[in-house]
Every structure is written in C-alpha cells, then in structure tokens.
Structure 1
Amino acid sequence: MQYTISQTFTNTTRTTMTTLITGGTGHVGSHLAKLLHAASYPVLITSRKGVAPEPFKAVTFNWEDASTFENPFKADANIDKLFLISPDHKDPVPVAKPFIDLAVSKGVKRIVLVSASQLEKGDDFYGKLHEYIAGLGVEYAVLRPTWFIENFATTFIESINKENSFRTVSKSGKVPFIGVEDIAKAAFDALIAEKSPNTDYYVLGPETVSYDQAAEILSQVIGRKITHKQLTNEEEVEFFKSLGMTQEYSETLNGLDAIIADGAEEKRVGTPKHLYTGTRTLRQFFEANKKLWTK
C-alpha cells in the first residue's frame, strides 16, 4: 500500500516561526515557497543574488562563500526549519557542515534534505550529507525522489526540438518519473508535520514508464515522431559534462542512469521506503507544457 506523507504524519501545527529555503528560486524550492506561503507559514529564501519574486523575501547565499552563511539569521531570528539543497560536491559535508552547524546553533530544529532515490546514506554526493544530518540529533527528513519529469523540458529539450529524439543509457528500464510540484508537496508535508519523519523515503511518481514509452507519449501529444536512442556510458558522461556538470557528477549520474536498465527504479515502488506517491503523470506534464516541444 502506498501513502502520502500527509496521510502518514498527521496532526500538523501552525507556527509563526520561519522556514529557510535554500535554492528557493529553483524548481522545487520555488514551489515549496508558494505552498508554505499559501498556508500562512513564514518563509525566507536564499539565492546567489539575494533576490526572489514577490511576495518573498530573499537573502544572498552561496555555498562557495562562507561569509554569506550568517545572512539568513541576520535577516530573521525566528528560523526554526531548513529546506536544504546540497552543494554538488562528491563530498558536500566539508562545504555544508559549517552552515548546518550554524543553523542548528541559531535554533533550527528540523532539516529536510533533497537527495536521490538511488543514493543511500553515506554514498557520494547527497548520500554523505544524508549521513551527516541523520547523525546530528535534530529532527529531519531526507526526500529521495526518482528522475524528474521536468528533465524532458530541460535536459532533453534541445535534442527533442532539433533532432526529434533524446538519448540515455537506460534501455527499456522503467522509471516512476516524479514532478517537482510533487517533490515540493512532500517537502511541505515533512516540514509542517507535528511529528517529524526522522527517516529517508522515496518520492515516486504514480506510474512506471520506460524512456521508449515516454517518447511514444510525447509523440502523441505534440503530433510528431520522437524517438529514444541509446548512448554508451562514455557518450552520456560527455553529454552531462556538456550541460556544465563536473566529471565526477557526470559519472555518478551516468551510473545511476545505467542501472535503470536493470529495473533499479521500478523495484522501489511499493517498498517500505516508498512513503510518498506523486500525482502528475508524464502525459499530464506533456499536455500542460506542449508548447515547449512544438515547432
């Protein structure tokens, strides 16, 4: 049986304390800010430029500049919850630890981290930060979403529009693609729940779809033939690097993508860690954003 966090962790309470959202102008963070604001929870957003759309207040914050770590707490002394987007380092703990420790010392009592479905506690990148936060003794939740639906509108959009195709190493493996709005809702539930989850859990979409099937669905929606083609591991690493990712991160993403072919993502559906199921299907996403792929 599958549950949403709002079904599992009930009895939420309203507070005048503030939730700090790192990466608050990003896809997940911006949706989370809107959910919290709509429910009358105070929000403070961080961004590199210190700006955010109305009605949100933002402060300058940069993982690579520790002098910015104090900024949120100078701007708002009532921060007690933290939504955390990890820096993309193979071991982010040396970069993130000073800020997290500062946040806890300033009164942060609950941390919600976004990791990834295939990264276990202690693994490189988000897994190492997962391990550190779980050992802090504060309330926490680690969201482990599968691959984003929005990748078809970002990572793959250029090749779809120029070549009528997109490429992966995933073969016919299936993925329970998840939308950023659903990830934001999972974060919202974890932040406002009276009883903290204090665990990690998968955030998965409502259906499992292969990339071949995704190409068929997109073809039907936009009215032209889109195909899914296979890459070698080396080719995919170079592709990720062309998007501005580091060699290490590109190799990690390729490794996570490659095991989809063996059913790694499909097998997560219905497991004990599968506590949150999203609502948005691929077809719904394609229909709502049809103009992005229409020539």
Structure 2
Amino acid sequence: MILVTAATGNVGRELVPGLLRAGLPVRAGSRHPDPARWPDAEAIPLDLTDQDSVRAAAQGVTAVYLIVPETLEAADVQATLRTLRDAGVARVVLQSGFGVQGEGNLLGDAEAAVRASGLEWTILQPNWFMQNYNQMFRRGVRDRHEFAEPAGTHRTSFIDTRDIAAAAVTVLTGDGHAGRVYPLTGPAALDRHEVAAALSRALGHQVTYRPVDDDGFVDFLVSTGESDEEEARAIASIYPPIRADVTAPVTDDLPRLIGRAGYTIDDFARHYRADWQA
C-alpha cells in the first residue's frame, strides 16, 4: 500500500491515478478526502499536524509520497516521519523544491529530517509548476488576457505536474533510488514573455506578461480574485530565487526517470486551453 499525502493537490491528483494504472494499492490522504474521485483508491482524512491522523493513515503502508504544505512547521515534519517509522513504513519519497539548499526554510528542514529519519528515502526537487498559469493566474489570463509577476526577464525551467507525478511513480515502484536527490525541470528555461507567447498560441489571442514589483504582484492577485493580500504577499516572498536565476538551469533527471522528454510549455497550454476559456 502506498500513501499519497495532499492527494487532491497539484501533484497528488496526477499521482494517485498514475499509481492505480501501475496496479498498485493506493491510499489517498487529504484534509478533505473525495472518495468519488478515485473509486479504486482508499480516500482518507489526513492532517500532518495531527499525529493520530498520520498514524491511522500509515497502517499497512509500505511507502509514502510526502508533500509538505506551506502551513506546516518543521516540528510537524519530524513528528510525521517518526510516526511513519513507528507504524512500519519502510520508504518515503519527499517532494521538495528546486534549488533548495541547507536548512532554515521549511523544505530544507524537511529534507534534513527525511535524511535523518532512519527510513529509506528519495527526494524530488521539482521546479516551478506550469500549472501555476491555469490556477494562480487563471482569472487574469481569462478575463484580462494578461498575468503579472515580479520576475523581470529571468528564466525558469517550468515543469508540468503530470511529469512530476510520472517521476514519482518511477521512484515509488522501482529500485535504485534510495538516498538519491533528483532536481526536476522541464525541457527549456523560459522567461515569462515566452510563457505568454505560448498561451497566446494556444488561445488564439494575445496574452501579455506584465513585469511588476512585489506590490504590483499583490495588487494583481487581489484584484483578479485569486488570493487575499496575506496569501499574495506570501507568494511574492518566494520570487527572490527566480530573480537570482536559481530556477534557470535545465537538468536531465526527468527524462532519465520517465523515459521521455517532459511536456513543453506549448504542450501544457494546449492541454489546459479550456481553463482560460471558462
């Protein structure tokens, strides 16, 4: 049995069906489980701040795909790993983030905790999700034909969450991944003007990227109704690595894991075209 945390989130919603297609028993854990979504999976309530919840979810589980919510504290991650180990879980695959180095931030602390957990571990470090554009910027693209970010002309090797899930299936079902860290990127480093061009091609009309400062970014997200000010400022706070070009490198770990090239930004835009037309 494989436990997927945050099963209804960006990657989880792709990973659960991927594991089911591979013929594996899956327990889909989330704060708000949806049994109707995957009838062949076991949907359960899971709150990583509640170790009784974690303990119940871990019964009979051999491997866990661990996604750490931004609201979690490092102590919660450590407690969760202890609970998993005590429940007899043998293996954990942590979804971290691209460019994470050292401790002092949630994902860095989570990586350190996983390494020290006594469990067999693997760490995936995906870059920024392409799916930000049909989620966080959906209304801006749909209603205003634009999106705004505090990213200047800096490049990011965006990755499709479908590819992250495919890599996770490989790691969870195959051998030779213990103690490995895989930085995962898409096939090209793009600036946001190039993202806007891909959206324009898919939608058949001009979509514009507007570079802004942090305040302009907050104003954009709030005015489009995508978030409140507190959440928008929290999102703005994670842009400095982009402006420092930390997210620009392209790695070959993804195609080596999944046996094909990752989806391009044009593939993504065509696949999700309807999200900006609703």
Instruction: Decide: shared fold, TM above 0.5.
Output: yes
**Structure 2 residue 99 is matched with structure 1 residue 81:** no
Q: What's 1:284 paired with?
A: 267
- Cα displacement string for residues 135-161 of structure 1 (whole angstroms, at most 9, x for unaligned residues): 123211111111111111001111111
**Structure 2 residue 253 is matched with structure 1 residue 275:** yes
- Partner AA of 2:54 in structure 1: F
Give the alignment partner of residue 29 of structure 2, picking from 46, 50, 58: 46
In structure 1, C-alpha distance between the alignment counterparts of 2:170 and 2:24, rounded to whole Å: 12
**Structure 2 residue 213 is matched with structure 1 residue 235:** no
Give the alignment partner of residue 146 of structure 1, picking from 89, 107, 127: 127
Q: For 1:78-157, list aligned pairs within 5 A.
A: 78-89=60-71, 92-157=73-138
SS at structure 2 position matched to 1:112: strand
Give the alignment partner of residue 160 of structure 2, picking from 179, 188, 194: 179
Q: What's 1:15 paired with?
A: none
In structure 1, C-alpha distance between the alignment counterparts of 2:123 and 2:115, rounded to whole Å: 9
In structure 2, C-alpha distance between the alignment counterparts of 1:203 and 1:162, rounded to whole Å: 32
- Cα displacement string for residues 143-191 of structure 1 (whole angstroms, at most 9, x for unaligned residues): 1111111111001111111211100111111111111110011111111
Q: What's 2:40 paired with?
A: 55
Inter-CA distance 135–237: structure 2 relative to 1 (3 Å threshold)? farther
SS at structure 1 position matched to 2:243: helix
Q: What's 1:33 paired with?
A: 16
Q: What's 1:261 paired with?
A: 243
Shift of 1:250: 5.5
In structure 2, C-alpha distance between the alignment counterparts of 1:81 and 1:246, rounded to whole Å: 38
Shift of 1:95: 1.8
Deviates further, 49-58 or 109-118? 49-58
Whether the 8 Å CA contact 2:254–2:262 is kept in 1: the answer is no
- Partner AA of 2:19 in structure 1: L
**Structure 2 residue 191 is matched with structure 1 residue 205:** no
- Partner AA of 1:286 in structure 2: A
- Cα displacement string for residues 183-236 of structure 1 (whole angstroms, at most 9, x for unaligned residues): 011111111222233132211001121100111121122121111111212333
Q: For 1:9-28, list aligned pairs within 5 A.
A: 18-28=1-11
Q: What's 1:219 paired with?
A: 200
- Partner AA of 1:60 in structure 2: P
Deviates further, 234-243 or 139-148? 234-243
- Cα displacement string for residues 28-52 of structure 1 (whole angstroms, at most 9, x for unaligned residues): 1122111211111211111223433
- Partner AA of 1:107 in structure 2: G
SS at structure 2 position matched to 1:188: helix
- Give the alignment's TM-score, normalised by structure 2: 0.87
The CA RMSD measured in Å over matched residues stands at 2.4
Q: What's 1:11 paired with?
A: none
Structure 1 residues without counterparts, runs of 5 or longer:
1-17
Q: Number of residue pairs matched?
A: 269
Shift of 1:124: 0.9
Shift of 1:129: 0.8
Structure 2 residues without counterparts, runs of 5 or longer:
256-260
SS at structure 2 position matched to 1:111: strand
Q: What's 2:277 paired with?
A: 294
Shift of 1:63: 2.7
**Structure 2 residue 44 is matched with structure 1 residue 68:** no
In structure 1, C-alpha distance between the alignment counterparts of 2:99 and 2:31, rounded to whole Å: 28
In structure 2, C-alpha distance between the alignment counterparts of 1:27 and 1:150, rounded to whole Å: 8
Q: Which runs of 4+ in 1 moved over 6 A?
A: none
SS at structure 2 position matched to 1:58: strand
Higher RCO by CA contacts (8 Å cutoff, separation 6 or greater): 1
